[in-house]
């Protein structure tokens, strides 16, 4: 079970490398200047001075030690020493003296804007006597997914933290959500152990999967590396493989007349991927699909926490997990997610509960059909190409 020793936390904030700035020791203590991304003062910024405790391990290593090289990891906690508000010039004055932070690892946090839209977390350089300038940049939203089944959410532990910061996130189902954190490089800690490093760019929304002991599960439904027309489930349970169908005047260029495998491209570095090319006009569309079993076969995917897949393209499309039983005219009730491809490879994360429900088009809630899934489908509505790799059922350890 994942649990955290929370007694030493300085707080659980919803709110990289540790960037060193210079400091200014005045008769009143440490002073910093809060600036934005274009080097303008940020009046009314809330700035807090923290002190770090709990070095890693018993004697703290140098800043360039890789966390994976530390044989005995002990999480580091921070304690707030002072909080002050920046004046019109962005200046903040603390009573804490510079010599009180030497060797003790002091940090400053800056927060400004509506809903913590601007943030910074940075180390104070106790060896420098120049004025410290802290740069507040657009904050980051971070979701840490566990890959655990929904039924395992109660044993994931209550929180995870970003090591040596005041930021921790509470369990939200099988995910941990940090609403606002500063950009930077952090180590994510659970159960007093590091579970991964994360780099956060300013102003982004980051969704990442980290393995949590024996609770993380995923089933690679298709990675195309075997070079055939069968999904990976066919290795255990027979099925008819992938099919591709144009509708209402749309046409396929790839796959061509030689069959599905003509659309498999071999990338030496990362294996094969599927490259669909098509022409779509007016109300036409193309679809890609595969049955999970033979004829009326179906599988219980109710433990699913997300469908992940890597895509690249120029089109709008929908991903659907469909019920095994045909209703009429080759239509099936389905849980369906709309999404869009971009020029670069992107990992999509499609979650149960976020599907689009529209009963007149046979689109139902995931809970209604999740225990009897028979078909995986992709419907493509515009554009000219879509490339796909690594279709993963997250939260599913095996399919039976």
Tell me: the pLDDT tens digits for 254-284? 999 899 999 999 988 889 999 999 999 888 9
Domain boundaries, the chain: 1-216, 218-394
pLDDT beyond 60 at 63? no
CATH class of 1-216: mainly beta
Task: Return the minimum-mean-pLDDT range out of 12-16, 66-70, 100-104, 305-309.
Answer: 66-70
pLDDT beyond 90 at 236? no
Mean pLDDT is highest, among 41-55, 177-191, 359-373, for 359-373
Look at residue 69 and give its three-state secondary structure.
helix
CA distance 185 to 179: 17
Q: What is the mean pLDDT of residues 12-32?
A: 51
Structure tokens at 14: 């919803």
Q: Tell the burial category of 227 from Cβ atoms under 10 Å away from its Cβ (0-12, 13-18, 19+).
A: exposed
User: CATH 3.40.640.10: does it fit domain 218-394?
Assistant: no
Q: CA of 48: how far to CAs of 25, 80, 226, in Å? A: 16, 7, 54
Mean pLDDT is highest, among 111-115, 121-125, 194-198, for 111-115
Strand partners, 118: 112, 138
pLDDT band at 126 (very low <50, low <70, confident <90, very high): low
Q: Which residue has the tokens 């255990």?
A: 236
Q: What is the mean pLDDT of residues 327-353?
A: 92
Tens digits of residue pLDDT in 377-387: 999 999 999 99
Q: What is the mean pLDDT of residues 340-344?
A: 93
pLDDT band at 153 (very low <50, low <70, confident <90, very high): low
For 221, the enclosing helix (H) or strand (E) is strand 218-222
Structure tokens at 387: 């490339």
CA distance 82 to 362: 58
Task: Return the minimum-mean-pLDDT range out of 98-112, 269-283, 360-374.
Answer: 98-112
Establish whether domains 1-216 and 218-394 are of one fold.
no
Q: What does the pLDDT read at residue 244?
A: 96
Q: What does the pLDDT read at residue 24?
A: 43
Look at residue 367 and give its three-state secondary structure.
helix
Cβ partners under 8 Å of residue 359, min gap 6: none
Structure tokens at 294: 């033979």
Q: What is the mean pLDDT of residues 73-79?
A: 74
């Amino acid at each position: 079970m994942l649990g955290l020793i929370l007694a030493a936390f300085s707080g659980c904030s919803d709110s990289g490398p540790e960037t060193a700035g210079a400091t200014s020791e005045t008769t009143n203590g440490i002073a910093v200047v809060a600036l934005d991304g274009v080097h303008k003062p940020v009046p009314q910024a809330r700035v807090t001075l923290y002190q770090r405790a709990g070095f890693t391990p018993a004697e703290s290593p140098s800043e360039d030690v890789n966390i994976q090289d530390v044989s005995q990891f002990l999480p580091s906690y921070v304690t707030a020493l002072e909080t002050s508000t920046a004046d019109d010039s962005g200046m903040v004055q603390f009573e804490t003296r510079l010599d009180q932070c030497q060797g003790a690892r002091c940090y400053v946090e800056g927060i400004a804007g509506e809903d913590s839209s601007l943030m910074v977390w940075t180390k104070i350089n106790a060896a420098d006597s120049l004025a410290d300038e802290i740069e507040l940049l657009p904050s980051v939203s971070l979701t840490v997914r566990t890959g655990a089944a929904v039924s395992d959410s109660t044993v994931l532990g209550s929180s995870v933290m970003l090591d040596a910061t005041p930021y921790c996130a509470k369990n939200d189902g099988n995910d941990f959500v940090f609403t606002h954190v500063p950009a930077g490089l952090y180590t994510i800690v659970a159960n007093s152990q590091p579970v991964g490093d994360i780099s956060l760019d300013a102003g982004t929304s980051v969704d990442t999967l980290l393995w949590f002991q024996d609770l993380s599960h995923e089933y690679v439904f298709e990675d195309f590396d075997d070079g055939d027309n069968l999904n990976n489930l066919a290795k255990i349970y027979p099925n008819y493989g992938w099919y591709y169908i144009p509708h209402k005047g749309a046409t396929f260029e790839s796959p061509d007349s030689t069959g599905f495998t003509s659309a498999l491209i071999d990338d030496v570095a990362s294996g094969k991927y599927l490259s669909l090319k098509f022409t779509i006009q007016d109300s036409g569309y193309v679809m890609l699909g595969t049955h999970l079993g033979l004829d009326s076969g179906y599988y219980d995917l109710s433990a699913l926490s997300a469908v992940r897949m890597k895509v690249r393209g120029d089109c709008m499309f929908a991903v659907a997990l469909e019920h095994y039983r045909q209703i009429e005219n080759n239509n099936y009730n389905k849980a369906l997610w709309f999404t869009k491809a971009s020029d670069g490879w992107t990992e999509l994360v499609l979650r149960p509960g976020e599907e689009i429900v529209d009963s007149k088009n046979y689109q139902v809630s995931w809970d209604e059909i999740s225990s009897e899934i028979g078909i995986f489908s992709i419907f493509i509505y515009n554009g000219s190409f879509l490339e796909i790799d690594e279709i993963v059922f997250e939260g599913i350890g095996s399919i039976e």
